[in-house]
């Protein structure tokens, strides 16, 4: 099953109020659909929504977006606010099995990691497919239409190869198809068990044996052979971190991505201990090691980028790299606060990472709210900038771009700061043209993939919101449970808060997770 390839026979474009009952089994042909949005965030007003937006869809793509219209009789009507689909740019699907089990009490990033390894040791391709299908269905319920899966659980326990060495990758891409969302499978090179304080790389040990491919050539050979089926999936490259990939092997990962024009994702400076060990090993920061390896480019996403010095920040900005922030994970693991304002106009993306929550509203607002805690100042990022991180920038960072020609100037990456709330601190200069085309999704624009996230405003949590500023209300006050309808590639995958393909998402999650802890 692939997104955009609807299997049902009901004609599209039929009229119908947004509040009709759950319709979990009904697929619509993605032709000539017309959706009228009471309010929609198009980016044209930065953080402000537009009223009466008619979105026309054919073959899974938006064909027109017209604001200021009355609802045509043949359009589906969405009340409240409608947004483009969210991109969850950093996910480890199996970490969802730890939700609620690791956050209370003490411990550290490193003790959390030991718990995570125990779960990892229980997974095989079938179990991982069951878990990830439910995890991705939960994401769909939260408005996520594309996930970047940072995948390193490659092999069987002990490092034994499956008959198909990419069996786990196939399990993940199949799970995304089952959940009706797109996936970029970021194939992670993971060669070392860590970098100690003396700057010595440790061999993979215990559960880590599953992650490794021996050396960068072994990784590249396996990754190059991976061919995900279906138009919903694409691949990307990743180096786990400078802890897990020695400096001498990093150029091979960078070259692999460059030769194939793939996104390249890396965990960067999440913990001070990583910086200390890296300085001990190389006399350079992790950012400098990546730069010297040719791994800092406009295709690169640096995940976390928490502990950076001034030279690191300058290097990221110069490279045009994206920084992927995962605030709910970073605060759970006591990582620290990133220098978000200093990074602008670096494009920001968002990830739910370990899935302590699956809520892109919370990830988005936490970027700004954490920056307030760090700087004692409000308004570094406004609603428009936070929504671009959750949508267009995330999709672009995962390789979902298309050629320039249908540019939507207000939505392009690089426009980091916003002028839509109070007295914003505009930082970092002028927005820049994206070097690699425009986002292919995460924008309400002709030519883009038809991903829609509808959030009604009449529930108790959002009641009383100023309709003309409803995007502010949603970004700063909504929760994933407020999402009512979700369209991905022209197909409704969530109706009335129920997943159309995985109707009992909670039960599937419960079953898949408890079997790992049994």
Q: Which residues would be at the binding site for Zn ion (CB under 5 A)?
A: 353
Q: Which is nearer to Zn ion, 81 or 237 (CB)?
A: 237
The backbone torsions φ and ψ at residue 346, rounded to the nearest 5 degrees and listed phi first, read -50, 130
Question: Closest distance between Zn ion and the C-beta of residue 359, in Å?
Answer: 17
Largest CA distance in the chain: 70
* Rounded Cα–Cα distance for residues 39 and 329 (Å): 31
Question: Closest distance between Zn ion and the C-beta of residue 398, in Å?
Answer: 14
Q: Which residue is nearest to Zn ion (CB)?
A: 353
61 has which bridge partners? 58, 449
For residues 121 and 157, the answer to whether their CB atoms sit within 8 Å is: yes
Question: Closest distance between Zn ion and the C-beta of residue 299, in Å?
Answer: 18
Strand arrangement, sheet containing 485-488: 61-66, 48-58, 33-45, 76-84, 452-455, 485-488, 491-495, 498-499
Question: Closest distance between Zn ion and the C-beta of residue 92, in Å?
Answer: 6
DSSP secondary structure, 100-159, as one string:
TTSSSS---HHHHHHHHHHHHTT--HHHHHHHHHHHHHHHHHTTEEEEEEEE---S-GGG
Q: Which is nearer to Zn ion, 270 or 312 (CB)?
A: 270
Q: Which is nearer to Zn ion, 93 or 465 (CB)?
A: 93
The backbone torsions φ and ψ at residue 304, rounded to the nearest 5 degrees and listed phi first, read 85, -70
Question: Closest distance between Zn ion and the C-beta of residue 401, in Å?
Answer: 23
DSSP state of 462: T
Q: Which is nearer to Zn ion, 132 or 502 (CB)?
A: 132
Q: Which is nearer to Zn ion, 329 or 505 (CB)?
A: 329
* Rounded Cα–Cα distance for residues 13 and 143 (Å): 22
Active site residues: 304, 353
Q: Which is nearer to Zn ion, 253 or 408 (CB)?
A: 253
Give the list of residues 6+ apart from residue 37 with CB closer than 8 angstroms, or none: 52, 53, 54, 55, 78, 81, 82, 452, 454
The backbone torsions φ and ψ at residue 28, rounded to the nearest 5 degrees and listed phi first, read -115, 145
* Rounded Cα–Cα distance for residues 389 and 335 (Å): 21
Question: Closest distance between Zn ion and the C-beta of residue 350, in Å?
Answer: 13
């Amino acid at each position: 099953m692939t997104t955009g390839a609807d299997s049902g026979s009901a004609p599209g474009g039929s009229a119908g109020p947004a509040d009709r009952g759950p319709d979990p089994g009904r697929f619509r042909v993605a032709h000539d659909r017309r959706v009228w949005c009471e309010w929609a965030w198009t980016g044209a007003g930065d953080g402000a929504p537009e009223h009466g937006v008619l979105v026309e869809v054919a073959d899974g793509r938006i064909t027109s977006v017209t604001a200021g219209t009355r609802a045509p009789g043949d359009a589906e009507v969405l009340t409240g606010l409608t947004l483009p689909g969210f991109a969850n740019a950093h996910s480890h699907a199996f970490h969802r099995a730890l939700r609620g089990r690791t956050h209370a009490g003490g411990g550290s990033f490193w003790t959390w990691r030991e718990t995570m390894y125990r779960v990892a040791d229980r997974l095989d391709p079938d179990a991982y497919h069951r878990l990830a299908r439910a995890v991705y269905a939960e994401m769909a319920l939260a408005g996520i239409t594309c996930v970047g899966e940072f995948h390193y659980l490659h092999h069987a326990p002990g490092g034994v190869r499956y008959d198909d060495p990419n069996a786990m990758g196939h399990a993940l891409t199949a799970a995304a198809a089952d959940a009706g969302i797109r996936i970029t499978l970021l194939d992670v090179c993971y060669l070392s068990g860590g970098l100690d304080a003396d700057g010595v790389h440790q061999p993979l040990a215990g559960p880590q044996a599953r992650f490794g491919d021996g050396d960068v050539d072994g990784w590249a050979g396996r990754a190059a052979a991976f061919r995900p089926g279906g138009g919903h999936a694409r691949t990307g490259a990743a180096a786990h971190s400078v802890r897990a990939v020695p400096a001498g092997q990093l150029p091979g990962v960078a070259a692999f991505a460059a030769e194939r024009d793939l996104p390249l994702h890396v965990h960067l400076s999440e913990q001070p201990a990583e910086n200390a060990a890296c300085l001990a090993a190389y006399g350079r920061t992790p950012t400098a090691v990546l730069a010297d390896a040719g791994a800092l480019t406009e295709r690169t996403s640096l995940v976390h980028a928490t502990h950076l010095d001034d030279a690191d920040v300058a290097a990221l900005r110069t490279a045009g790299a994206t920084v992927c922030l995962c605030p709910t994970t970073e605060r759970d693991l006591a990582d620290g606060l990133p220098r978000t304002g200093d990074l602008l106009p670096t494009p920001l993306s968002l990830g739910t990472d370990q899935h302590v929550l699956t809520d892109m509203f919370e990830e988005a607002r936490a970027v700004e709210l954490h920056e307030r805690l760090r700087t004692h100042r409000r308004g570094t990022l406004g609603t428009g900038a936070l929504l671009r991180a959750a949508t267009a920038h995330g999709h672009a960072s995962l390789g979902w771009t298309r050629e320039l020609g249908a540019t939507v100037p207000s939505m392009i990456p690089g426009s980091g700061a916003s002028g839509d709330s109070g007295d914003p601190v505009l930082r970092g200069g002028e927005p820049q043209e994206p070097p690699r085309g425009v986002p292919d999704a995460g924008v309400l624009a002709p030519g883009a993939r038809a991903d829609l996230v509808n959030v009604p405003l009449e529930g108790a949590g959002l009641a009383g919101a100023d309709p003309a500023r409803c995007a502010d209300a949603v970004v700063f006050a909504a929760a994933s449970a407020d999402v009512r309808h979700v369209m991905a590639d022209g197909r409704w995958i969530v109706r009335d808060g129920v997943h159309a393909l995985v109707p009992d998402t909670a039960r599937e999650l419960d079953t898949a997770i408890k079997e790992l802890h049994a």
